[in-house]
Amino acid sequence: MKTSSALILLAVLFPLMLLGQHDQHANHTVAADVEPQPLLAQAMRLQEALSFSGNALQAADAAKLKALENGALSKATVAQIQSILDPYCLNVVHINPEGRVKVDRGAAKAGLVQGGWTAFLVKIHNEAGITAKFEATSPNALKPYHSPSFEHRVKKEHELTEGQVANRFLDIQIYAGRPLHANLSGLKLEYAVVQIFSKDAGKREAEIAYNAGQGSQDVGFRNSTHILFDVKPAVKVSFDVKDDDGTPTMASFLITDGQAHASGKFKGIYPLPSRRVAAFDEYPDFFFQPQIYRKSGEHVILPPGKYKVTYTRGPEYVPQTKEITVPDGKASLDVSFQLKRWIQLAKLGWYSADHHIHAAGCSHYDSPTEGVDPKDMFRQVLGEDLNMAANLAWGPSWYHQKTFFTAKDHPLSGKKTIMRNDVEVSGFPSSHAGHIVLLRIKEDDYPGTTTIEQWPSWTAPVLSWAKKQGGVVGYAHSGWGLEPMEPTSKLPNYITPKMDGIGAVEYVVTVTDGLIDFFSAGDTPAPWELNMYYHTLNCGFKTRLSGETDFPCITDARVGQARSYFKPKNAMDYDGYVEAIQLGRSYVSDGKSHIMDFKVEDVEAGTGESELALKSPGTVNVTAKLAAYLPEKQDSIGGKIAKSPILDKPYWDIERSRVGQSRTVRAELILNGVPVDTVEIQANGKLNDVNFSAKISRSCWLAVRIYPSSHSNPVFVKVNNQPIVEKQSAEWCLAALEQCWKMKQPNIRAEERNAAAEAYEKARKVYRELIANGK
């Protein structure tokens, strides 16, 4: 009688919906032997989770659940809960006593929305009482790319066809955030929330499967169903993007929905990163980045809803946010964005550059294409307001990416933005001794070679070959391998480096032979980078600093995260850029602080050999134009950066320079690596003309830094034409050289080892002579 009463009550409450569903899904039984209290408790948590995910129960159903919560519990309660929740179920899962999973179609309408998430319930009959993690899978939700890869050529088994990629239009996940759990409870009956995303619109069939741990799949492959979804088209949202001066431009956009999704990277971000495939999408958005890049007149596909859009264009801009509402029932929407600069370096004669970005390897996929097309990288360069970029082919996908090498600017380059395809010798036989960047080379194949494996196994021959063809060269990610054997962040320090990495390790040898133009900075821990750099300057060598990101390897956040600002002697072109690097007419920066027009007396860095001649010791006046920008109040991200160890990412960031909680940063004048004067400025975006002074007792070098955010190139001060030499630095360099030989010579080919040994011995003699003559 109790069961009959419950069924009568259900018919009164839901006469149309349940009758129709029972007609269509007559095989779905109502579980009766279930405790009502835990089932109701879970139902209330389900309601909360659906609200979090933007797919709340209908108001009437939510009210009915609330009424049950306030009423007496009985077997009828169990039936009523099922009658409320079952119409929302996409699937019904049965776990038999042996733990095997069988899946049937549920009562919910198979409707999705293009470019967005739809939440359904899954009803679970758990006869086995298992408590394993409950998961949803689909072959249509497999990754539409293969990544990462470090192969010179893509492996056959990693290749994906365009058809395979197109069929992977889905993403699926079980929502396991609060107040729900990832694992089953063990109750005989419970519900889960499955969230499904569709990249495409229209009719799409997908295979949906569930499992509850290894071995739970049904032997008859009944743990999946094939469902024909009707995917509603999203709205075309067109962007009108204006630069600070009102001109149309490209910018970076981070679009979030503020809803709760299952755990996973970038789940509440649009377009969904996991479905982005640069090779085939209308716009080549990268799957490993949360942001997208759009220029004025371009669009994004968004489902109806409310979104927060954070937009900016590199570190010279102030990030802004805008909330937009995409209405239902409209095919298109226009949204405008006005960018806001805090500084414009180009108007001051300074231009931004990153000499180390990649279109393949690391975070990039190697299939369906071997990395991305350089034109896709150009969008990133534009969107981060880089004036100059070197897109470097290297080991991963080398044979494909080198086909873009022309020894000329990329065809998309213009007067304000230039990109060229050059080379990083990484993933080559010499890589163990340090990766090297070759800029403005004319040939990209080492003489007499047809494969990577035939290249030299140490760096000096490659550097010499590149320089002979007019190349400008330096080691990449300098700090890797320069970690001191005993932990310290002091600058300078005299602890021998490990020399066990792929940064500027063999630099200690090749710098003595004049083979190095620049020393890369900004993408590895500042103390490791600068300690080597300072010591070699203290030995009288005149290598210049140049900023790099090594995108998307050391960081895949954005290009130009660390960069150079250069002041071309003549034209703002690629030749003018590399010449500025060679001359030191540049500084390294995270883009949030700037050191312009640095002069010692009347000698500006990068002019006149950057050398000031003094007849005798004395005091020199130093001037520079400084600017920096920090938010007035430090946000949580800034606070986290400021408190993190300097050996953690991001390695160079102005938040590390902030004095306490203020908006003040400290600029230092350094002499042979040691601060000798300081000036504090407000990081409010305003230009500051600053003055320092230094007592010069003997030949030295001077530079200005806002540590670790920006660093000028040096000016060399010669007293009575005497060389710059610090005995202790020369001793450090000699010890580093010995450690380098110990670590690297086993990987130098036997037929090349004698030549390498001669070069190392020649460098030893240089340092020994400096030690003998130094103070």
pLDDT at 150 over 70: yes
In eight-state DSSP terms, residue 513 is: G
- Cα-atom radius of gyration of the chain, to the nearest Å? 31
Per-position b or e across 709-733, b if 16+ CB within 10 A of its CB: bbbbbbbbbbbeeeebbbeebbbbb
CA–CA dist 409, 422 (Å, integer) = 10
Structure confidence at residue 335 (pLDDT)? 98
CA–CA dist 704, 587 (Å, integer) = 10
pLDDT at 14 over 80: no
Structure confidence at residue 260 (pLDDT)? 61
Paired strand residues for 195: 119, 173
Mean pLDDT of 392-401: 98
Mean pLDDT of 408-429: 98
- Please write the tens of the pLDDT for every residue from 688-714: 999 999 999 999 999 999 999 999 999
Q: Give backbone dihedrals phi and psi of 444, rounded to 5 degrees, phi first.
A: -110, 10
What residues have CB less than 8 Å from 279, skipping those under 6 apart? 165, 368, 369, 372, 373
- Please write the tens of the pLDDT for every residue from 71-90: 899 999 999 999 999 999 99
Q: How confident is the model at residue 215 (pLDDT cuts 50, 70, 90)?
A: low
Q: Residues of the chain with pLDDT > 70: what percent?
A: 94
Q: Which domains does the chain have, with CATH numbers?
A: 2-230 (no CATH), 235-338 (2.60.40), 347-528+540-589 (3.20.20.140)
Q: Is the peptide bond before 97 cis (omega within 30 degrees of 0)?
A: no
Q: Give backbone dihedrals phi and psi of 84, rounded to 5 degrees, phi first.
A: -75, -45
Structure confidence at residue 12 (pLDDT)? 26
Structure confidence at residue 31 (pLDDT)? 84
CA–CA dist 197, 257 (Å, integer) = 14
Tell me if 151 sits within 8 A of 366, measured CB to CB. Answer: yes
Q: Is the peptide bond before 552 cis (omega within 30 degrees of 0)?
A: yes
Matching residue, tokens 């590199």:
314
Tell me if 577 sits within 8 A of 353, measured CB to CB. Answer: yes
Q: How confident is the model at residue 55 (pLDDT cuts 50, 70, 90)?
A: confident
In eight-state DSSP terms, residue 274 is: G
Mean pLDDT of 94-108: 93
Matching residue, tokens 């497999």:
142
Look at the pTM and tell me if it is higher than 0.75. yes
Mean pLDDT of 446-473: 98
Beta carbons within 10 angstroms of residue 449's beta carbon: 12
CA–CA dist 344, 539 (Å, integer) = 37
CA–CA dist 487, 89 (Å, integer) = 57
Q: Can you read off the two tokens belonging to residue 81?
A: 């809960």
Tell me if 383 sits within 8 A of 353, measured CB to CB. Answer: no
